[in-house]
Chains A and B, each alone.
Chain A
Amino acid sequence: VVVWPNDLDHVTAVIKYAAERQIAVVPFGAGSGVCGGAVPVRGGIALDLKRLASLRIDVPGRVAEAGAGLNGQRLEELLNAQGATLGHFPSSIYCSTVGGWLAARSAGQYSSKYGKIEDMVLALEAVDGTGEVLHTLDGPSAGPDLTQLLVGSEGTLGVITSARLRIWPKPTEQWLRGIKFPSVHAGMRALRAVMRAGLRPTVARLYDPLDTILAGKSGGAAMTVPQPLKWVVEGAQNEALRVALRAPVLLNRLVEALPAASLLILGFDGDSEDDCAEEGEAALALCEAEEGEDLGPAPGEKWLANRYKISYRQSPLYSAGAFVDTMEVATTWDRLETLYDAVRRAVCSHAFVLAHFSHAYLEGCSIYFTFIGLAGKPSEEVARGSREDAEQDLEEAESRYDACWKAAMNAVADVGATLSHHHGVGLSKQIMLPREHGEGMRQLRALKKAFDPKGILNPGKLLL
């Protein structure tokens, strides 16, 4: 059953009703999650929160109070109309909501400056599994931080109904550059130097060699993409693509034989062109110390113009019988190279791997891996065959996909990195939670008992 509550009272009424009858309630924002967090695996009520779309903006107070169902792009447009910004620009901004961001600890493309959503939230309104309304405090309070225990709980501890968020004046100026490094490792060192220097770039995205070739095709770092790799990244020729994906090890080795150049997109924003340039030039000097070569603004401008398009370009690959998936993990600077190498090594026999480093902090960084592997037969071939053939094809495809994920996640856990930086856990990563949290799983279960004693909120997620 899908329920659309109009207000907080409706949400509490639904949860109390469900708690009395032991019916599962799965909060739903816009369904953009890629890990299956909003899939109602035990049936029950899908609580679609889109009607909770209120917004109150206090520009002088630098605060916005937004309903959980408010669409991300709509929120940003309304803030922009008043000269403000949240600074949160996830790739899913057109099809995600404030509540979804908070439930999964979302990160946007400008996180190196503005932080992740957990850094932006000041207070929450949420309904626990008994129907009680919780209002966390924006300001000094005692004891553990209730807000940070609810953020990231993926609907298992409470239904977030609204949030108080920190907003900022919308910057008027931007400084963007592409910087080419002789290797991805030199780029990592430069990125660390920039962050450790206290600089806060709006954009800091380092692409590994293949991603660099893709990003640089019309951005100043012109390089030629070898044909087998072109088949993979463009997905245009089905049979050729499938041939290439049958040998992922060879494909990955082909990438290693390419020029090792890595592209860093670096950007600063502010209210004065001079201020942006001052920070940008300081960052550039740190990059030059790692043999970074300034490519000018073109690569950055190209990235800016296309920054939301990548998610919508994968359909041809799916139709051709490939799977494409992404894994965003994070660790400290001292383990970053090890993590990058370990995941590539673990996955190279299962799928073609590319990566970029897109959320940098004082102590570390996230890595966003993209896997492209052989799933099954092309969709038109499946449609022509028998049902049994289709089922067997699907089974084999799932098996290959699962093997790829398992190898990748084990490599992450072995390095001691975290399994998710901003996609959440959902269904796809929860099997690894005991390795991530260890004895902390018992803390997680205790939280579940405390917030949702009847176990009705999004059951089957976070292993709860």
Chain B
Amino acid sequence: VNERLRDDLAACGAAVVDEAPGYRVTPPSIASLGRAVAVVRAWKVPLRVRGSGDQPVRAPENGVLIDLASLDRIASVDGATGIARVEAGCSLSALEAAARRASCTLGPLLPSVRAGSVGAWLAGPTRGERGVPGSRRETAALSVAAVLADGRLAESRAAPRSATGPDLDHLSLGGNGRLSVVAAAWVRLFPVAPALASSWRCPNLVTAVAALERLCCDRIAPARARIVAQGDGTRMVAAWEGPETAPMERDRAVRTLAAMGCTVESDPGAGEWVRAPASGHPVEVDARWASLRGWSQFGEMQTIGMHAGGAFAVLALPEARGAEECAALARAAGARVIAPRRMRDPGPHWDAMGAGAVWKRLIEALGVEEGAP
């Protein structure tokens, strides 16, 4: 613990707490955050950021934990355009509540994501991605304001798409706060619309997953779905949320799935059931459809962010079997575990893409720490 480092951090206007073996710093503003990051980088001590993709509870040894909890302001919510300006430490539940007041929503999110902050969502393993109409997935970040190593703030233009070079937001998205620290963002919102759900009885889990994949390939992906193996087959419920499109897409799904051996059932409780928390000790994964088809025939699955290639899924096993077993089975099927955090798969990273040397040069050029995110 270095007293001079502590003094420098305190001079940033942030609250500094000894949290052996390092310091915990809580900046009250983005400007203060910038100054604190610059101090840490100048001292070349380890930095971790709580609420920016990572949720460490302790400061790193001889390093600094920056806690974004005080950066929790929602500057604006524009329901007509469907965007919100929000600081990184704001909880997603608070943002969702504000969005709802403007007749908007963030849409379905993984439980671990929904329990965290905006920064943790964007810089975390999902890169802020969620399903969008047309069976695609895209990040919710319309624009990211990120603190660089010297404390300056880089902020992209808030435009739906841009062609002004590489998308620099992707240095922050999924970066775990390693290349830059997400300070604020413009977040995309969907219009709120009542979900329309339907229930099917499928021969087995493989068929049910194949049915969801087919819907995605036909560009009528539901907003969320739940599949549970039951004694007399597999129950699948899917729900659509587009204001104008939900009834159309649900009707088309009923026609499509009839040809796949899935029988639509009358189920007034389908809308509630599809949103119910997973049972047991679930894990959250990002997976291709082939991996999801390989999930336990006796298990449970909830899917969101569905696209033609795969989905985010919450996977659970019956009889309260442990999350470790869940995670092992998911990995064996080829899925990437992203929560619980202690079980998160660290890769594949850039070195698996032939870009290990690029990564090393990049962290040097940006003046940040060694190591994979």
Contact = CB atoms under 8 A, between A and B. Distances in A.
B343 interface: no
B248 A279 contact: yes
A133 B348 CA distance: 17
Given A142-B372, A168-B219, A135 B163 contact: no
B244 A198 contact: yes
A149 B154 contact: no
B348 A141 contact: yes
Contact of B127 (A118, A132, A145, A363): A145
A392 B273 CA distance: 76
Given A145-B127, A168-B219, A417 B159 contact: yes
B201 interface: no
Contacts of B164: 152, 418-420, 424-425, 429, 433, 436-437
Contact of B81 (A105, A106, A107, A334): A334
A437 B81 CA distance: 23
A130 to B, nearest CB: 7
Contacts of A440: 154-156, 168
Contacts of B336: 140-142
Interface in B324-339: 335-336
A145 B134 CA distance: 21
B245 interface: yes
A362 B82 contact: yes
A200 interface: yes
B248 A437 contact: no
A230 B160 CA distance: 35
Contacts of B308: 62, 166
Contacts of B359: 143, 450
Contacts, number: 271
Contact of B188 (A62, A154, A362, A439): A362
A425 B168 CA distance: 15
B50 interface: no
Interface string A404-436: 000000000000111111111100010001001
A128 B37 CA distance: 31
Interface stretch (A177-185, A296-304, A325-333): A325-333
A141 B155 CA distance: 25
B373 A148 contact: no
Interface stretch (B5-13, B59-67, B260-268, B349-357): B349-357
A128 B353 CA distance: 12
Interface stretch (A69-77, A213-221, A441-449): A441-449
A446 B168 CA distance: 11
A134 B362 CA distance: 15
Residue among B167, B217, B241, B248 with the highest chain A CB neighbour number at 10 A: B167
A290 B120 CA distance: 40
A209 B345 CA distance: 55
Contacts of A156: 165
Given A332-B83, A443-B168, A445-B365, A143 B349 contact: yes
Contacts of B354: 132-135
Contacts of B159: 330-332, 364, 417-418, 421
Nearest to A136: B353
Given A137-B353, A141-B349, A145-B173, A278 B248 contact: yes
A86 to B, nearest CB: 13
Interface centre among A138, A142, A420, A449 (most CB of B within 10 A): A142
A144 B157 contact: no
B174 A439 contact: no
Q: How large is the interface on B (under 10, 10 to 19, 20 to 34, 35 or more residues)?
A: 35 or more
B164 to A, nearest CB: 5
Given A197-B242, A199-B245, A157 B166 contact: yes
B57 to A, nearest CB: 21
B346 A142 contact: yes
A82 to B, nearest CB: 15
B78 to A, nearest CB: 6
B347 interface: yes
Interface in A332-379: 332-334, 359, 361-366
Contacts of A119: 136, 138
B163 A422 contact: yes
Q: What are the 5 closest A-B residue pairs judged by CB atoms, nearest first?
A: A198-B242, A105-B163, A450-B362, A446-B365, A361-B160
Interface of B: 78, 80-83, 125, 127, 132-134, 136, 138, 142, 148, 152-168, 170-176, 179-180, 188, 190-191, 193, 217, 219, 241-246, 248, 252, 285-288, 308-310, 335-336, 345-350, 352-355, 357-359, 361-362, 364-366, 372-373
24 contacts: A105-B161, A113-B134, A118-B167, A134-B353, A134-B358, A135-B353, A137-B348, A141-B348, A143-B176, A143-B359, A144-B373, A148-B167, A149-B166, A199-B242, A330-B160, A332-B81, A363-B83, A364-B160, A420-B162, A421-B161, A425-B165, A439-B152, A450-B364, A451-B361
Interface of A: 62, 104-107, 113-116, 118-119, 122, 128, 130, 132-146, 148-154, 156-157, 166, 168, 192, 196-200, 275, 278-279, 282, 286, 330-334, 359, 361-366, 416-425, 429, 433, 436-440, 442-447, 449-451, 453, 462
Given A440-B155, A442-B154, A446-B366, 9 more contacts: A104-B163, A132-B355, A140-B310, A143-B174, A144-B175, A151-B167, A334-B83, A440-B168, A450-B359
